[in-house]
Structure 1
Amino acid sequence: MTQFKSDLLRLLSERGHIHQLTDGHGLDTLATTSIVTAYTGFDATASSLHIGNLASVMLLRRLQQAGHKPIALMGGGTTKIGDPSGKDETRKLLTTELINANITSIAQVFHRLLDFGADTNGGGPTDAIMVNNDDWLSELGYIDLLRSVGPHFTVNRMLAFDSVKTRLDREQPLTFLEFNYMILQAYDFRELALRHGCRLQLGGSDQWGNIVNGIELTRRMNAIELYGATTPLLTTADGAKMGKSVNGAVWLNEDSLPGYDFWQYWRNVDDRDVGRFLRLFTDLPIDEIARLEALAGSEINAAKVVLANEVTALVRGPDAALAAQSTAAAAFAGGGIGQDLPTADVGPDGIGVIDALITLGFAASRGEAKRLVAGGGARVDGAAISDENHVIVLTGGEARLSSGKKKHGILRRA
């Protein structure tokens, strides 16, 4: 592990956040002698970020923990274009009203994970601030932008970027609008440097080219030295890209994904991922993480519960973590029913097991539900259901329907 002098880079390094640095020595020196203002950008394409974005949010949290100033940049302007990085298809264009509503919703997570100060607008030297790049991008005249910024980019180099090259190699369409995204992101870095004294951009490894563009543009136009740092591309131990589950994206906001489902994602991670995720996504001391990741056999499940509790408490709040753990304990022990499980109302005539599995989201189709029943994976209050035509009639007020060992839901009398 590289030896750093600054608390910032030491913290990022020991937690596993560093993939690449544009000038590690220069940034290390800067971070030992001054408060570094740094930013990460987030486009508002949905009403919530997902756990694939969480690593970038944690970069800002680590920055502030090390005594520096974070900027959460909301991409109100760039969302109108769409970042082609890692995408095979052109994104649907969103209205300004929807983008602004998404930003308001996304902001909830940042106010849990960052300290914006007593007046919530970042007045202190290390208080976080949130800005929107639409504030300056919407004011740019397109011809003026091309005249001032365009000469610093060559089409040859832009075509060589992975975000562009991959799309073209796969013969997928890349609109001229998306092609401009890298120019606008570079301009963001320059604008934040001039407006807020921002010297560092943090982001995922897929943003490396965009970060370098911003550094070079600002050096050429304003002779200001900027820095970049990326975090590794997050994949699970089995090679899957982090941020997705079998049921879709794992959203950070409660109204996009129930607390129990969020908690369960972390509780069910691969044994090999426990230590890495504890370092990246929790504030637990390193020596405690070392103890937890050394657990073997069934004992590793205790470390997974700690991981689930810690991440849920950070992102959703301590009450959400407690409720999810209580629900899990009730669902798995003694046939109890937790109050945070997905629910479905059942009339007096009952509900077919196939319909129940689909209603609770345990199967996406009747065929999938039938295969689940045939394989012995459907249970009501612990009893296996082997007949796909079985009708579940509630004799009491509630019953628990399980899909396999890890998915549980409540059937409740209407």
Structure 2
Amino acid sequence: MTPGLALFYGGMVRTKSVLNMLMMSFVSIALVTVVWLACGYSLAFGDDIGGGLIGGLKHAGMAGLGPDSVQGTVPTLLFATFQLTFAIITAALISGAIADRVKFGAWLVFVPVWALLVYVPVTHWVWGPGGWIAHRLGALDFAGGLPVEITSGASGLALCLVLGPRLGFKKDAMRPHNLPMVMLGAGLLWFGWFGFNAGSALGANGLAAAAFLNTLAAGCTGLLGWLFVEQKRDGHPTTLGAASGAVAGLVAITPSCGSVSLLGALVVGLAAGVVCSYAVSWKFKLNYDDSLDVVGVHLVGGIIGTLLIGVFAEKAMTGSTEGLLYGGGLAQLGKQLVAVVVVAAYAFLVTYGIGKLLDKAMGFRASEEQEHKGLDLTVHAETAYDHGVLGHGAPVSSSVLSPTQKVKNHA
């Protein structure tokens, strides 16, 4: 899913920062993996030592987790690796909110620090042994509305405020440069989402099948809901809208796919597609530059999906909990609301603090010259395309030419 996200984001930025966008996702794979294996898994899924707030370091470095160790019916090493993929993509998601203007070196520092201080604790709260959200509050989250969607969206908003808007925000056209790439990335994400959600059942069983079907259904109604809004509001259903709507529906069904019926999934996806299609424009009114709509899709979509568990949860899916629509009253909705508020506030405040400290220590934002010329060339000494052929008229710097090319150019 993370390479799919890289393509999704890469197609949405301008040509001068495509490679930088891809790199921010790919390097997150490496950084989060190292942190997760060193201590992240143990802190998230180890035995609780902090009143439901954090696990211990018993399994730091994956100590004591041999091939015979089992988590339920699943080998523990497989479970730890599966959960690692959630941690990776959550960090990578944040990059979309701050595209086109981040120092790559600062991103290399931010990702592991953020994973340890934000993702790991929230994951323990929601899924870890004795985590307070699951075991004390009683809120439900099947596959990551709280640890993945809401943390990434709230953290993206925090960094938007730390870094400020891109040069030319609300003045210059900043259209996606490659919509086929966006659609390909969205398709890969959608396919991966089946494993993301259905895999959270930790078995090839009826619950996994229901989560699989719910994921497909919500992605479809999210897509259709977004296109309906575009047609009514703008007069044109767009490919970007189709991709964004599908992702919005998938985001919203992530926490609820193991709690709602097919009818509930259809409504959850539709609600996300419609609401998120309006939410992405809030940045222009509120003046925060969420470059690729992480706040409008992941934060808003995650909130919708997490809250609607309190409305559409069915006993046949959950085993006991029922939502408001099925006679469960307001109790579960209240629990879901508390979880949403606490996780969003925690992720926002801690991320804002990390961002501010990094900005003071090493500078978080790229220079104006780098942003103007593009991060691909100025940071990575590469370009995704021959800019001259695309009509931009920007010559490739001699620093990225081979010695043979330099001799030819000189001649």
Q: TM-score, normalization: structure 1?
A: 0.29
Q: Which has the higher helix share?
A: 2
Q: TM-score, normalization: structure 2?
A: 0.29
Q: Which has the higher strand share?
A: 1
